[in-house]
Chain A
Amino acid sequence: MSGAPFLQAERIWKQFGSFTALADVSFDVHPGEFVCLLGPSGCGKTTLLRIIMGLETQTQGRILREERDISGLPPAERDFGIVFQSYALFPNLTVFDNIGYGLHSRRMKRQQIRARVGELLTLIGMPEAARKYPAQLSGGQQQRVSLARALAPSPSLLLLDEPLSALDARLRVRLRHEVRSLQRRLRVTTILVTHDQEEALTMADRIVVMNQGVIEQIGTPMEIYLHPLSPFVADFVGEMNFLDGMLVAPNRVRVAGAELACGPTDGLPGAGPVRICFRPEDVDVRAHGASAVNAMPVEIAALDFLGSFYRATLRPAAANAAELRADIPIHLQRELDLAPGRLITVSLPADRIRVFARD
């Protein structure tokens, strides 16, 4: 992404009485970009979205659109569209009137409104639904109508507040792709709030990970997944093993009775307690005997069948070490005849092990 950002949140603070909902939050959104605000419930992501929309006012900080401060503008003058988790469709108005609601406010002619609503109905793949009421639509259809209503006045920014959370799992996956391809086609700058890391990973150009009112990390889905900058991000996005160990030399840690090469340890003291982490899918169970690099002897404590793979619970041979999880493709399990009780050696690729300070 290059050029000037379309939207900037600049050092935003939000207090509710003595509670700090947002503390010094800054991030940019570039034109045409799809940004996800990701975090657990109560992390401040929805508050941030409402501040951008103008539904809440920040205690401190500025919101800039194309470098112009819009903090003082009421929602109606910001030219942003919003979709809520509940959809907030007007129940007594038809799909046509719902989508056309914002066009009336712009003094468009009846003819123009009809054309624009028709266009949007085609866009969301529901050209037959104009005369229906929201209650006669499925959850997914209501979601699409609500999206069309927000898009109808051609807003310069689309805000989506957990728009897929009310849908069942299968439909949610399908709509992720629909929303994303719609956004790509219209090239509308979009901010989506979600607590679902899978949703963020599959949809976003960039993810802003938030926790307890602060931003933990901003990056592409790949960066967030492969190079989490904090234990929180490592834990929240995807599955992660955490083990306590000691840093013995740069890029070398002692953990669960084994000494392992690991990822970068820049910025950490030369030696001392650390916490290391790696993903279950990075645990290699094909290692053989003592020749294996970065190896650790373990016992298979349990093997849970999860469809396309097994999730193994592994108990390191060293006493008092925490258990690990490893994901084993089903064919490997068959090939190696893995079963609970067996003692094996696992190898952990050095560049997949991340190290954080531990107090």
Chain B
Amino acid sequence: MATAVAVVPARRKLARDEWIARMAVVALALWLLVAVALPLWALLSKSFQNRDGVFVGLANYATYFSNPALFSSFWNSILVAAIATAVALPAAFAYAYALTRSAMKAKGLFNALAQIPILAPSLLPAIALIYLFGNQGLLRGLLFGQSIYGPLGIVIAEAFYTFPHALLILVTALTTADARLYESAAALGASPRRIFLTVTLPGARYGILSAALVVFTLVVTDFGAPKVIGGRFNVLATDVYKQVVGQQNFQIGAVVAMMLLAPAVLSFAAERFVRRKQMAQLTAQAVPLVPKPQPLGDGAFLGLCALVAIPIVGILATAAFASLIKFWPYNLALSLRNYNFGNFETAGWLPYWNSLRLAGWTAVIGTALIFTGAYLQEKTRGLQAVRAVVQLFAMLPLAVPGLVLGISYIFFFNHPANPLGFLYGTMAILVLNTIAHFYTVGHLTATTALKQLDSEFEAVSASLRAPFYRTFGKVTVPVCLPAILDIAVYMFVNAMTTVSAVIFLWVPPTRVASIAVVYMDDAGWQGAAAAMAMMIVYTSATVKVLHVMLARTLDRRTQAWRRR
């Protein structure tokens, strides 16, 4: 048997494709460093420096906190976010409950209607609300003298904007119910009310908490709605913009951005923690709950959903209508005048075409990058330390508000010593920023899809002398195509609708549609602003419809090898 003792630790030489995988992981880490980590570091250090770049400790923070005009925005943001959460969450819960636990009719329709806000920038509900309740609004009388400009308008616009996000989480939480628990409770003679309080609510409690945190964060970090309808009511998001763009005070701007980042990171961390608990509730043996028809209850749920869906459709319809009439409220004749953007801005339709380019590049490059990155991270091995860095910075963007990332980009790419400075003012920096901003959700989607593949594909390939990239191309990508499409559409729609990520980075030749909405609204061309916002909605909706059709075709084509 064994004669010589090999005391030296064994080492294995790396195959060529293993080298390639390692180099790709390093490249991915470097990209995330440039696109996420270094800009955020630039922001952090800027908040501790004076105008000349000298370290001044907490001086900027001291200035900020001692200025009540600035600091009051912090409380304004928290207040508005709390109220908007209190409005959106119960509505979303009732809606989700009706979709998952009742046997009401037209569930598909109501589900689709609830998705409308995702297609629009948050500017759109704000503009529509001004048409309805503004100084010349049709329904102004309903406010009993209250002004829509300020917290009231922000809350309503944000409730509209965040509704589908809360709904998605709550539907998931309520879908994962185990029918056996309900059968046991009923068998033990519990009343429906007691079952709801002792089974339904506890089962969904993490979902509710998670949805609340997501809505809260979205509201605190949203720029579009308060910009349009906030009036003189200042919030953190508008303060950052005013400090940086209005007063060129980058130091205080950096401090406000840090104030914006803090609650976002905190609620992000809490949300991740809560979501993990929610997942742990799922067991493999759970029997899915199938709701039984109850004519009276189902009718009530239908009414309830309609009550929520009507304002959503109403807001969209108002914007669509406003974009199509001559002069609100004096001349309601239909006209396409508002879509002739050249009448209002010299740039004309250019911002729209820029948005298409931005969304297209973000979808194509972003999806390729995100999916390949998630694959490398999930399925190849080695360089554990680098992988830990990748994991951290792939998750971080979800916690970073668009405005914060945008201002960080200014500090980082505009720095005279940065060799990448040439990117400033190009479409490339908008694409870079948008991919980074929406990286995490795509990364999680890709990772989930990849985890469903057999973990031994790579080992089998190696034993068959096939390099990993051949299996990636021949097997992984074709099998994950539905998820890849999901990521691409997500990136496209978000690039179309985002305001906050690009507001600091555009220059006139790269102005995009959502920015044009902000500026035309500012200039008083509200009809044109509504028209441009509607162009964003039409485009996003078209892409979504194409996505559904493409997904169906794909499903039919690949039915032969997909299990059930």
Contact = CB atoms under 8 A, between A and B. Distances in A.
A73 B463 CA distance: 12
A73 B12 CA distance: 6
A60 B10 contact: yes
A92 B479 contact: yes
Interface stretch (B152-160, B210-218, B232-240, B554-562): B554-562
Interface SS of chain B: loop
Nearest to A5: B1
Interface string A70-106: 0111111100111010101011110000000110111
Interface string A192-208: 00000000000000000
B457 A135 contact: no
A270 B347 CA distance: 104
A86 B454 CA distance: 8
B52 interface: no
Which of A76, A77, A82 gathers the greatest number of chain B CB atoms within 10 Å? A76
A68 B18 CA distance: 23
Nearest to B471: A90
A91 B7 CA distance: 43
Nearest to B464: A102
A81 B456 contact: no
Contacts of A28: 1
B388 interface: no
B266 interface: no
Contacts of A75: 15, 459, 462-463
A58 B465 contact: no
Contacts of B474: 90, 93
Nearest to A149: B464
Interface string B1-34: 1101111111111110010000000000000000
A11 B6 contact: yes
A133 interface: yes
Contacts of A11: 2, 5-6
B287 interface: no
B460 interface: yes
B464 A101 contact: yes
B57 interface: no
Contacts of B471: 90
Contact of B12 (A74, A91, A104): A74
A135 B6 contact: no
B10 A91 contact: no
Contacts of B462: 54-55, 74-76
Given A72-B11, A84-B460, A91 B1 contact: no
Contact of B463 (A59, A71, A81, A86): A81
Given A57-B11, A86-B454, A91 B561 contact: yes
Interface string B444-455: 000000000010
B11 A105 contact: no
A62 B8 CA distance: 10
B12 A57 contact: yes
Given A76-B462, A82-B460, A102-B466, A54 B6 contact: no
Contacts of B10: 57-62, 71-72
12 contacts: A53-B463, A54-B12, A61-B6, A74-B15, A75-B462, A90-B471, A92-B478, A101-B464, A102-B463, A135-B561, A136-B560, A153-B464
